[in-house]
Amino acid sequence: MTETITGTTRSAGVSLTELLDGDSHPVSDLLRNESREGLSDGNTRVPAAYYTSLEFHALEVEKLWSRIWQMVCLEEEIPDVGDYHVYEIADLSFLIVRTADGIKAYRNACLHRGRLLRETSGRGAKTLRCPFHGWAWNLDGSLKEIPCEWDFPSVKQEDFSLPEALVETWHGFVFVNPDRSAGPLSEHLAGLDEHFEKYPFEQRIKVAHVEKIMRVNWKACQEAFMESYHVVATHPTLMETLGDANTRYDTYGNFSRAISPQGIESPHLAGMTHYERLADGQQFARFRHPMNGFIYERVELGRVRVTDLDGNESLFDDEARHLDGNITQADPHLCKWIGGPTPDGLLNTPLAIPDPPAGVDSASEVRAWLAAQRRAAATQQYGDAIDPELFSDAEMVDSIYYSVFPNWSPWGVFNALFYRFRPHGNNPDECIFEVMMFVPCKDQNNRPKPAQVTKLGPDDDWTLAPELGMTAKIFQQDSINLPLVQKGLKAQERQEVVFGNYNETKIRHFWEHLYQWLDIGPTNVSVTPR
């Protein structure tokens, strides 16, 4: 791995600003302008216990989840009166209901003996009746009836309406806030609208929604998807096409942005040997590691042959455990990529590394060539729904991903991804990681229903959700790290996490906000090794 210290605060190599200057289409000021709002320079240090402690989790429930605006569902998922959606965060549960007067959100618990009124989302309810003893509420939350009402002389109808949470919407998403004295959603999302006005979510449809239980704290899980710093070690298959260490990070009010340039190689490859492109390479079956030139080849499911530059071969399983041969170490992420489960029909996928025609040499030329292909594909796929000529090369090809405090991550422009991260009940060692995909809707007058949720357990592979396509392979690699992060946080001697000044900007921005919400002081802390 090459050193990229340059005497500045950024990696060597072409910057995003230089790439935007060479864009073949007009670039907006919004894309050009850098922002470090609300963030001071330095390394942020966080106690490891904040990821593992049940007491810290309880503090989050009390001061964060009970007080903040949270994205819960789409308006389209509860289109008719009587439709409802169950939203759970930690041990809080809410019932979001479409009523004749709009959308309301209630605490999802019977006021008699506390049973959940609904365990799952549903449609067409006339009343909200508790399955335990039959107490019932109207859709507007007012008490409707009590079996044997004579037996409850102290219960007055006017006092037993279902407790409500605040409800507002943003671009087709429903948000709730348990704190009825909270400020408006527009205040919480101030400044975010302009980042999505060229391509608002109302023009998109949800085509995938996968919910997976992960054995890692929700914050550690979210942090893995807030930076491109991990690409050099975790995603070697991206290094020849992604300027990971040249990512630009911006911070705003309650949200942050990252722009990872595509169509250029990682600065980590600068000055290193560049190996010949594999003529018979396949994206998921035969791939050359860009750092050392070793070839990883799928033998069968769970088996990978690794060949070094001298032709020596060794056999590994998809967990990178050595099985045979003189090469005893292998990249675990590339072993999983090549030898792990792969969605049907993808094994013979050609290499995704750009192979531009002769004369297309500079970074700007390659990016313009890639963008032209994506514009053509978008025009064919989405028709008049959106005009790709209105978007710059950067908007067509780059990874533009936002993090909105506290726990959701919409991707920008033509990036279909959308994430949400929630604690799994009251277990600080687990979380629910949700991946959604939104694409342009070709016919706004005939919008299909939003995709149903596919639920995966902690041991289920991402490829069990075929709707994710090739993206499932990326999540395979990330999922190798995350459970081991949670274990390692407990094993650390220093009991401290240290975040980089620039590459982990979005994470530092998150912690600045979290510390403010939890009223626990500045983030730059140190602890004594145990």
Stretch (H or E) spanning 57: helix 54-60
Is 188 in a helix, a strand, or coil?
A: helix
Stretch (H or E) spanning 17: helix 16-21
pLDDT, position 414: 86
Global pTM reads: 0.95
d(CA 523, CA 104): 37
Q: What is the dihedral of CA 33, 38, 42, 45, to 10 degrees?
A: -130
d(CA 157, CA 132): 19
Contact at 8 Å (CB) between 67 and 517?
Answer: yes
Give buried/exposed letters for 4-38 (b at 16+ CB in 10 A, else e).
beeeeebbbbbebeebbeebebebeeebeeeeeee
Residue ranges, the chain, pLDDT below 70 = 1-8, 522-530
DSSP H stretches of helix in 363-499 = 363-382, 393-397, 471-491
Domain 16-54+192-270+361-518, what fold?
Naphthalene 1,2-dioxygenase Alpha Subunit; Chain A, domain 1 (3.90.380)
d(CA 25, CA 219): 38
pLDDT, position 355: 86
The dihedral through the CA atoms of 365, 280, 265, 391 has a sign that is positive
Residue-range domain boundaries for the chain: 16-54+192-270+361-518, 71-188, 292-339
DSSP-assigned letter for residue 18 = H
CATH superfamily of 71-188: Rieske [2Fe-2S] iron-sulphur domain (2.102.10.10)
Is 503 in a helix, a strand, or coil?
A: coil
pLDDT, position 525: 41
pLDDT, position 522: 63
